Amino acid sequence: MSSTVPCAAPAFSDQRRSRSHQWLLLLELCCETKELSQLHSTLVKLSLIRNPHFSARLSLSLSTIDLSYARQLFDQNPDPNAFAYNILIKAYSKTHRPIEALTLFSHMLDEDSPKPNKMTFPFVLKSCSVETGRQVHAALFKYGLETDVYVNNALISMYMKAGSCFRNAMKVFDRMPQRDVVTWNTVIAGLASLGLVKEARDMFDAMPERNVASWNCLIDGYFKQGLIELARELFDRAPVKDVITWNTMVNGYASLDRMEEGRDLFDRMPMGLKDLTSFNLVIDGYSRNEGFEKVLEIFHEMRGLEICPDRFTLVSVLSACSNLSALEQGKWVHLYVKRLNIKLDAVLTTALIDMYAKCGNMERALDVFVHTEKKDISVWNSVISNLGLHGYGKEALEFFFQLLETDVCPDEITFLSILTACRHSGLVEEGRMYFDLMSRKYDITPKAKHYGCMVDILCRAGLLDEAKALIEAHSGEEFSVATWGALLDAASRLGNVEMGEYAAKPLLELDPKDTRCYVALSNLYSRGKEWDESAEVRKQMRRRGMEKLPGCSSIEVNGVVHEFQVGSAFNTLDEIV
DNA sequence: TTAGGGTTAG
């Protein structure tokens, strides 16, 4: 029969193969829904979509770009094979809806469905809680996959993540007929993340062959347990250091608030190795430690290297701008977002509104708010709190009423913002009303900060006895320095010595070095002409080597942030002019 | 298998 095949067939087939190859290449190269949708139509027109190679490649490309489109395609397929299932299961396992992956997997268990294979299980296990994971583990045996290395690695990972099940993970490890370097690394990472660093180190020492990830896993594990010296020692000894090794170190130091060492390593990272993550780690570290000038400095360096910031970078930078009142740089970020067509999600919008408001430009803040289509509660909170902070108490309340007309639900921050607004505008009656409303109608239990705010509202109105009663009725709360401070300030202002002493006691316990407390108490005694007490307080202050700290502030001029202290205005002005 | 992740509340 073979002799009857026409001679021209190989050439014809080569041609077709080459054309098929081109289609597949094209499908692989597409990175936008629009392009893939056009290719999809063409494949349908040419009836090529029935070819499983093409439809599979199309689904694969779509699954990373537009999952709902990929799902549509899958649902239209009357006879999906295991590959088609695996593509979607893998894609869903990476989303916040892993339940979809499990639903698809359960379809595969039906008699007339394609059988799950060794590519299916790792992604199913990734989507599982440990309870479901146990059932999936049992199902492996039915398909003869209990010895597969990839599947077992996923099992170990699943049990390790459940924490209390790490013994199950070790059982899987012990029973594996073959292990690879990933198996060992998964165990090391799992043990280390559970705080079992000694056991992780034993595995690291015992493993037959290490790769750079093995070193990275253990370094990270040491940092997570605060074992900085051991992490550093391992880093210095590591034969190969990749970008993750360096970033793990930067992150380790930053997460333990050791920014000097983190920055030192960041600066020493080989040129060309620093990536967006390296920058985000160091920016985030500075941001958490209130090193806002440094945030802007690093951001500047990043732009110089033409590394594109992502939304995480931009949010941290906007937050730094808010804290430094750096309006020009904040505006630059806003323009950048517009120019690159970056989607303004809730977090970015909130940060943007806050930046404009904190830089004193409430109009622009409101403009961003008005142009936000879908207003998340954090977006509302940002506007309400900033209106309140700027003394626009009534306007803050108006926005709150508008909010109540939408289907967005106020949260505890909304009420804190409302109470702050009442506090800044002296709205005592309204304060009482909303304080009551939050628990009565919205089922939000007031926290120490809410009580603190309410106490301050009452104190500012001179209602010290009511404030004290509120504190005493909620003695279980841990009131902050600010709350006791508010009571002390008010007592001091009104010359109420008894109340001043009542507030000073817990205040000094909370922060024995709080100079304001000594100053307020001393002034209070002076006003009451209790000179001996007043002198005693000042003496105590000196004995403890304390001085009253000068207040400080900052402004931005021509994109440069200047900080100045009370009493140094002339120096600062010279510097600016 | 290994690094990271944001906003609003003084």
Top-confidence residue, A152 or A7? A152
**A449 CB inside 7 Å of strand B:** yes
Interatomic CA distance for residues A428 and A405, integer angstroms: 24
Mutual angle of helices A228-237 and A243-255, in 10-degree steps: 160
A470, pLDDT greater than 70: yes
Top-confidence residue, A269 or A15? A269
Residue numbers 292-351 of A with CB closer than 7 A to any atom of strand B = 310-312, 315-316, 319, 322, 345-348, 350-351
**A425 CB inside 7 Å of strand B:** no
Percent of chain A residues topping a pLDDT of 70? 92
A182, pLDDT greater than 90: yes
A549, pLDDT greater than 70: no
Interatomic CA distance for residues A156 and A186, integer angstroms: 7
Domains (ranges, CATH) in chain A? Answer: 447-546 (1.25.40.10)
CA of A152 to C1' of B9 (A): 46
Inter-residue contact A173 to A156 (CB < 8 Å): yes
Residue numbers 155-184 of A with CB closer than 7 A to any atom of strand B = 157, 181-182
Note the pLDDT of residue A560.
Answer: 63
Backbone angles phi, psi at A375, to 5 degrees: -95, 105
Which protein residue has its CA closest to C1' of B1?
A182
- Cβ neighbours of A245 (radius 10 Å): 20
- Cβ neighbours of A139 (radius 10 Å): 16
Which of the nucleotides lies closest to A483 (Cα–C1')?
Answer: B10
**Segment (H or E) for A561:** strand A560-565
**A372 CB inside 7 Å of strand B:** no
**A63 CB inside 7 Å of strand B:** no
CA of A49 to C1' of B6 (A): 42
Burial class (CB in 10 A: 0-12, 13-18, 19+), A134: middle
CA of A532 to C1' of B6 (A): 53
Inter-residue contact A407 to A393 (CB < 8 Å): no
Cα–Cα distance list, A308 to A158, A303, A331 (Å): 34, 7, 17
Which of the nucleotides lies closest to A281 (Cα–C1')?
Answer: B4
- Cβ neighbours of A520 (radius 10 Å): 23
Average pLDDT value for residue range A428-457: 91
Burial class (CB in 10 A: 0-12, 13-18, 19+), A521: buried
Interatomic CA distance for residues A355 and A250, integer angstroms: 27
CA of A338 to C1' of B3 (A): 30
CA of A169 to C1' of B7 (A): 38
Burial class (CB in 10 A: 0-12, 13-18, 19+), A551: exposed
Note the pLDDT of residue A124.
Answer: 93
Inter-residue contact A173 to A183 (CB < 8 Å): yes
Task: Find the DSSP H helices in A243-290.
Answer: 243-255, 259-268, 276-288
Interatomic CA distance for residues A230 and A207, integer angstroms: 19
Which protein residue has its CA closest to C1' of B6?
A312
**A120 CB inside 7 Å of strand B:** no
CA of A364 to C1' of B9 (A): 21
Q: Which residue has the tokens 């900085």?
A: A228
CA of A224 to C1' of B5 (A): 17
Inter-residue contact A318 to A352 (CB < 8 Å): yes
**Segment (H or E) for A275:** none
Note the pLDDT of residue A1.
Answer: 38
Q: Considering chain A, what is the average pLDDT of its residues?
A: 87
**A122 CB inside 7 Å of strand B:** yes
The bridge status of strand A552-557 relative to strand A560-565 is antiparallel
Average pLDDT value for residue range A478-494: 86
CA of A252 to C1' of B4 (A): 11
A323-333: string of b/e by CB count within 10 Å (b at 16+)? bbbbbebbbbb
Per residue in A276-290, pLDDT (tens digit) is: 999 999 999 999 999
Which of the nucleotides lies closest to A285 (Cα–C1')?
Answer: B4
CA of A311 to C1' of B1 (A): 28
Least confident of A93-102, A114-123, A278-287, A365-374: A93-102
The whole-angstrom distance between residue A358's C-alpha and the CA centroid of its chain comes to 22
Residue numbers 239-258 of A with CB closer than 7 A to any atom of strand B = 242-245, 247-248, 251, 255
Which of the nucleotides lies closest to A386 (Cα–C1')?
Answer: B8
Backbone angles phi, psi at A560, to 5 degrees: -110, 135
A544, pLDDT greater than 90: no
Burial class (CB in 10 A: 0-12, 13-18, 19+), A58: buried
Q: Which residue has the tokens 């193969």?
A: A17
**A388 CB inside 7 Å of strand B:** yes
Note the pLDDT of residue A212.
Answer: 95
Interatomic CA distance for residues A134 and A159, integer angstroms: 9
**A496 CB inside 7 Å of strand B:** no
Per residue in A108-123, pLDDT (tens digit) is: 999 899 999 999 999 9
Note the pLDDT of residue A13.
Answer: 67
Top-confidence residue, A534 or A397? A397
A88, pLDDT greater than 80: yes
DSSP secondary-structure letter at A309?
P
**A483 CB inside 7 Å of strand B:** no
**A84 CB inside 7 Å of strand B:** no
Q: Identify the band that residue A11 occupies on the pLDDT scale cut at 50, 70 and 90.
A: low
**A519 CB inside 7 Å of strand B:** no
CA of A532 to C1' of B4 (A): 57
Helices (H) and strands (E) in chain A, counts: 33, 2
Average pLDDT value for residue range A270-279: 92
CA of A251 to C1' of B3 (A): 7
Q: Identify the band that residue A524 occupies on the pLDDT scale cut at 50, 70 and 90.
A: confident
Which of the nucleotides lies closest to A280 (Cα–C1')?
Answer: B4
List the nucleotides on chain B closer than 7 A to a protein CB: 1-10
Interatomic CA distance for residues A87 and A81, integer angstroms: 10
Top-confidence residue, A557 or A258? A258
pTM flag (> 0.95):
no
